[in-house]
Amino acid sequence: MKRLALLLLPLLTSTCLAEAGSVPVRARNSMVVSQNAIASQVGASMLIAEGNAMDAAVATAFALAVVMPSAGNIGGGGFLVYRPARGEPVAYDFRETAPARASPTMFLREGKYDRVRHHDSHLAVGVPGTVAGLHRAWSEHGNLPWESLVEPAIAIAREGFMVTDGLARSLQKVLPEMQAHPASLAQFSRGGDPYEMGDLLIQTDLADTLERIAEKGAQGFYEGTTARLIEKEMERGGGLITREDLKAYRALRRTPLRGEYRGIEVLTMPPPTSGGVVLLEVLNVLEEFDLPGMGFGSAAYLHHLAEAMRRAFADRARYLGDPDFVKDMPVLRLVSKEYAATLRDTIRPRRASVSNPSTFEWPAESAETTHLSVVDSERNAVSLTYTLEAGYGSKIVVPGAGFLLNNEMGDFNAGPGLTNAEGLIGTEPNLAAPRKRMLSSMTPTILVRDGRPLLLLGSPGARTIPSTVAQTIMNVVDFKMNVQEAIDAPRVHHQWLPDLLRYERNGFSPDTLDILREWGHAVDEVDSMGAVEAVAVSDDGGWLEGGSDRRRPDGAAIGR
């Protein structure tokens, strides 16, 4: 561990770590926030080495692929929003794609839907996008040498890191699902026995793969040894991905969606993620209501929030998919103030709407995603969300390559004609097709006021992601919470169907919930929603505040 210890030693004297309670980490120079303290430290070390926010974000993401295998990854995909201190913002789409042999009916067996094919097989693996996305974003905006960004992850994988209590519990829970995959068991257990807190987890094959990426960039993943190993595993398990699919993959540069909330610019991700559209719809609808006057956590506030979410998620189902395949998505209309006014007029102050069709079933989407936010001394800002889909993705480690494959094909709809006539609304835009990107809910977002970043944030949580991001924004803007208070505050979620208003346990008054029931809401208790990693910037730009969500263990905000 000496190499890694030397790498991170400067952090012991030059960073600020999170305090207890709803107190954010404060720093003047820079801030890195992620769901793992080691990964946040790696990102902060890049800033100490005179790297910029993009360098730190890329290094943090590679480190997460080692220390947070449930969602950090090189075998998955995601989205990144970048706002430079000077110049125009840009969005990077490195969502997985369907293999060339994919089809709308690939998840059917003898005409009937097969859930295992859809979510728990080699057919569920999409062509990974993470390495291509990180490499393209770095090549256009990074400052440090590429190799130096991957080197910390290599060191951690080869020399090992101490298993935390959270990781030990997570691995123990997932091991039964890895039984069918010997390479997965070999990597994430001690001969089939679970790792315990304090054990050293070494991942030599992953280190070798990361070295190829460090030496050759994206080509080190999509061609050569790694590509051959992926294709071999696909052939063994009946998957569709070939070396041609891997070589053909491209991370895409897109124009961020722009909105405005109470005079603050909102930069977020466009399709093929639905998160940005849903976020802007919700904010636009609620903008004309006096939310502070209603009071945080009141029945009136939660009712209006649920009704705004209900309408935005109905539009998600009806319209959204991969923009390279679905040409008539009315995105600009959906995020317009004029459209929000028409939705606002349909909300009754004390009566819940009814979601139809009641038998529509969403395709499953996992909550196991992760997010990181970075601001550097120049106030360049990166908001990055990426995932394997389910926790540990497909549970399949590529033999000899040491990384987990995603099961993102499960985010495509199950197949044509599998729901009733009304429920078919929204299914066609998100059916599987060759090279198509599946719909997502990831919502990396940056708020800007007076020409400087105000708030960077994102979250895991499947369809609760845009709801979580919207509530955190309103907590900061409307209810004047600091960033850690905004993250800690209880959350609700409504996604149109099922017609349920979900709320976090112990978050709201029983009297408030009774009022919501009287107004026609079906309410449902859940343990928690999301895990926001955020950075707020003071009005004068002089201070940074970092907040990490304690709903999930091991996260850290590290400022300097």
Residue with tokens 């060339």: 100
What is the three-class DSSP state of 231?
Answer: helix
User: What would the DSSP string read from start to end of 102-142?
Assistant: --TTTTEETTEE-HHHHHSSGGGPPBP-HHHHHHHHHHHH-
| Catalytically annotated residue among 97, 164, 226, 369 | 369
- Establish whether 369 is a catalytic residue: yes
Contacts of range 288-297, beta carbons closer than 8 Å, 24 or more positions apart: 288/341, 288/344, 289/344, 291/474, 291/478, 291/479, 292/478, 292/479, 296/475, 296/479, 296/489, 297/490, 297/507, 297/508, 297/509, 297/512
What is the three-class DSSP state of 368?
Answer: coil
CA distance 400 to 516: 54
Conformational region of residue 297, where left means phi above 0, alpha means psi within -120 to 50, and beta covers everything else: left
Q: How many other C-beta atoms lie within 10 A of the C-beta of residue 2?
A: 8
Residue with tokens 């066609």: 428
Residue type (1 letter), 453: P
Q: How many other C-beta atoms lie within 10 A of the C-beta of residue 105?
A: 15
Question: What phi and psi values does residue 349 have, to the nearest 5 degrees?
Answer: -60, -35
- What's the first-to-final CA gap in the chain, in angstroms? 24
CA distance 49 to 250: 30
481 Cβ contact partners less than 8 Å away, ≥ 6 residues apart = 475, 489
471 Cβ contact partners less than 8 Å away, ≥ 6 residues apart = 305, 489, 491, 492
What residue ranges in 341-380 does DSSP mark as E strands? Answer: 369-375
Bond preceding residue 176 cis, omega within 30 of 0? no
- State the DSSP code for 491: -
Question: What phi and psi values does residue 451 have, to the nearest 5 degrees?
Answer: 80, 5
Bond preceding residue 194 cis, omega within 30 of 0? no
Give the number of C-alpha atoms closer than 13 A to the C-alpha of residue 475, restricted to the C-beta side.
Answer: 24
CA distance 553 to 304: 32
Residue with tokens 């696909």: 234
Catalytically active residues are 369
